[in-house]
């Protein structure tokens, strides 16, 4: 009985039919960058469990921070009229940390919630700044932004929209700028970027720029398979949006907190977003907490809206949960005390070299990395390099091989992504790459 689990109870991320036949992978314990299943087998969590566990799976300091706050005040809802010190301290910390100067912070529990809040906020902010006709949202194909109706609409996976009657009206999708898979023969990166941005301009013109509120994008998308922005992409994209008065928001639910090297992906890629959403690694994923980080002018517009009769209201019982806030605060302190960013900078080259060593494998079309995230893109045959590939077959097969050899990876589309806990050591990187290599060797056999 103990091993029987109704798959419906744990449905999430996966396909129900597949789970009924294979059963869920039962992970029971964690230590450092490793997790252990109920059979006692160890795995390197090569993707930090959905890019969350930046500090690994056994950080006592975070447990202690939670216990301290549980003892002091386990719960009190924070909002305009109430504030718990831990929540205020977290908000102040985020204000000082993020690239948006003098930012204002709204807290939530999940990444979806933060993105959903932001989509709501922008409507109120636009109404108060004479932009009421702007209600549409642009995002990019293959990017994941969440599971609520609005954020699932924003998520650029048309195949998964149909079953829910999505996207909701006003959610528009533009290309993921995937040079490796989408470039035309002979097209260089600059020309490819120009074509991508030209298509976006056409979309904006077609829809009417005066109807579009914002574009939401990850600085670099891991859900799309770590698609590196091609040459000139971000500068050109920002200029284009500015030309049409379309706000730019960065979804940093994955790229926030050191994943790409610097603290935020916006810094890595020179992006200047008006708002940023954060979650996952912000609390080392020890407890759910997320944030919307807003430029002061944007927030001021919200405040105006809240002054109107029947105007803007916003609340969430767990928006600013004291224990979650205390853990997030301690996480950020640990980043500073232990110089996690310095550590990432020191070991990222070893990680990059480990992945690059697979580039000559006959089933590998491309390898790429930034900070401590990387991808290996599979192709059915080495040449022609960019022939259309049967979607996800090799990457799924590889992920199963890797799991057998003690390595957990993510496998978006034809890529396999690695994004280990940021606390990984050099010898653990070597071990992770060795397990990767063994899986690759056996995949070929």
Residue ranges that bind ligand PMP, judged by CB under 6 A: 50, 110-112, 115, 144-147, 218, 223, 251, 253-254, 279
Strand partners, 79: 82
Q: Measured from the CB atom, is 98 or 223 closer to ligand PMP?
A: 223
Q: Are 121 and 306 in contact (CB under 8 A)?
A: no
Is residue 54 within 8 A of residue 33, CB to CB? The reply is: no
CB of 147 to ligand PMP, least distance (A): 6
Nearer residue to ligand PMP within complex by CB, 254 or 340:
254
Smallest distance from ligand PMP to CB 143, Å: 7
In this structure, are residues 282 and 53 in contact, taking their beta carbons and an 8 Å threshold? no
User: DSSP letter at 82?
Assistant: B
- Distance CA(422)–CA(258), nearest Å, equals 8
Give the Cα separation of 110 and 273 in Å (integer): 20
Q: Which is nearer to ligand PMP, 115 or 389 (CB)?
A: 115
Question: Contact 367/436 with Cβ under 8 angstroms?
Answer: no
Smallest gap from residue 277 Cβ to ligand PMP (A): 7
Closest distance of CB 255 from ligand PMP, Å: 8
Nearer to ligand PMP, 111 or 230 (CB): 111
Q: Are 397 and 363 in contact (CB under 8 A)?
A: no
Cα distance between residue 109 and residue 317, in whole Å: 10
Separation of CA 426 from chain center:
24
Cβ proximity to ligand PMP: between 105 and 289 the closer is 289
The torsion defined by the Cα of 275, 277, 281 and 287, in degrees rounded to 10, comes to 130
Give min distance, CB of 77 to ligand PMP, in A.
20
Residue, CB closest to ligand PMP: 111
349 Cβ partners below 8 Å, 6+ apart?
A: none
**145 vs 151, 154, 243, CA distance in Å?**
5, 6, 25
- Least spacing, CB of residue 289 vs ligand PMP, in Å: 10
Centre a 10 Å sphere on the Cβ of residue 199 and count the other Cβ atoms it contains. Answer: 13
In whole angstroms, the minimum distance from the beta carbon of 52 to ligand PMP comes to 8
CB of 366 to ligand PMP, least distance (A): 21
Residue 112 or 268: the one with the smaller Cβ distance to ligand PMP is 112
The strand pairing partners of 107, in sequence order, are: 291
Please state, as a whole number, how many other Cβ atoms lie within 10 Å of the Cβ of residue 411.
22
Which CB atom, from 93 or from 140, has the smaller least distance to ligand PMP? 140
Between 111 and 374, CB nearer to ligand PMP: 111
Surface-to-core class of residue 150, CB atoms within 10 Å of its CB (0-12 exposed, 13-18 middle, 19+ buried): buried
Burial 254-292 (b: 16+ CB within 10 A, else e): bbbbbbbbbbbbbebbebebbbbbbbbbbbbbbbbbbbb
Cα 265 from chain centroid (whole Å): 10
User: Cβ closer to ligand PMP: 151 or 389?
Assistant: 151
Partners of 62 in the β-ladder: none
With 0-12 / 13-18 / 19 or more C-beta atoms within 10 angstroms meaning exposed / middle / buried, residue 28 is exposed
Nearer to ligand PMP, 99 or 209 (CB): 99
For the CB of residue 115, give the shortest distance to ligand PMP in the complex, in Å. 6
Of 168 and 304, CB closest to ligand PMP = 168
User: Taking the complex as a whole, how short is the minimal distance between the CB of residue 386 and ligand PMP, in angstroms?
Assistant: 26
Q: C-beta of 1: minimal distance to ligand PMP in Å?
A: 31
């Amino acid at each position: 009985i103990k091993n029987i689990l109704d798959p419906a109870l744990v449905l999430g991320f996966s396909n129900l039919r597949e789970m009924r036949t294979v059963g869920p992978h039962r992970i029971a314990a964690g230590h450092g960058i490793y997790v252990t299943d109920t059979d006692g087998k160890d795995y390197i969590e090569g993707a930090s469990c959905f890019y969350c566990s930046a500090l690994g799976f056994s950080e006592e300091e975070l447990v202690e921070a939670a216990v301290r706050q549980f003892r002091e005040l386990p719960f009190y809802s924070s909002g305009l009229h109430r504030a718990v010190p831990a929540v205020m301290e977290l908000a102040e910390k985020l204000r000082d940390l993020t690239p948006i100067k003098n930012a204002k912070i709204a807290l939530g529990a999940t990444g979806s919630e933060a993105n959903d809040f932001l989509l709501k906020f922008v409507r109120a902010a636009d109404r108060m700044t004479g932009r009421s006709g702007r209600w549409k949202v642009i995002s990019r194909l293959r990017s994941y932004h969440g599971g609520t109706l609005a954020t699932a609409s924003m998520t650029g996976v048309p195949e998964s929209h149909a079953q829910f009657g999505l996207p909701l009206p006003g959610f528009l999708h533009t290309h993921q700028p995937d040079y490796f898979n989408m470039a035309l023969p002979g097209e260089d990166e600059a020309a490819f970027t120009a074509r991508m941005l030209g298509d976006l301009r056409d979309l904006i013109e077609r829809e009417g720029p005066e109807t579009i509120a914002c574009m939401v994008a990850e600085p670099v998308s891991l859900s799309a398979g770590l698609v590196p922005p091609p040459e000139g992409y971000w500068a050109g994209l920002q200029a284009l949006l500015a030309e049409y008065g379309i706000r730019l928001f960065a979804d940093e639910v994955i790229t926030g907190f050191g994943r790409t090297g610097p603290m935020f992906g916006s810094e890595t890629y020179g992006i200047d977003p008006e708002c940023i959403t954060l979650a996952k690694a912000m609390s080392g994923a020890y407890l759910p907490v997320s944030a919307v980080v807003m430029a002061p002018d944007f927030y001021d517009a919200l405040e105006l809206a809240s002054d109107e009769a029947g105007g803007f209201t916003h609340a969430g019982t767990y928006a600013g949960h004291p224990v979650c806030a205390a853990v997030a605060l301690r996480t950020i302190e640990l980043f500073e005390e232990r110089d996690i960013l310095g550590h990432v900078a020191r070991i990222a080259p070893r990680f990059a070299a480990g992945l690059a060593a697979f580039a000559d494998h006959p089933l590998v079309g491309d390898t790429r990395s930034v900070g401590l995230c990387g991808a290996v893109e599979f192709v059915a045959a080495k040449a022609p390099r960019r022939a259309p590939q049967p979607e996800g077959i090799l990457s799924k097969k590889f992920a199963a091989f890797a799991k057998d050899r003690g390595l957990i990876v993510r496998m978006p589309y034809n890529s396999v992504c690695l994004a280990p806990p940021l606390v990984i050591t050099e010898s653990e990187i070597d071990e992770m790459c060795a397990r990767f290599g063994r899986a690759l060797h056996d995949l070929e056999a």
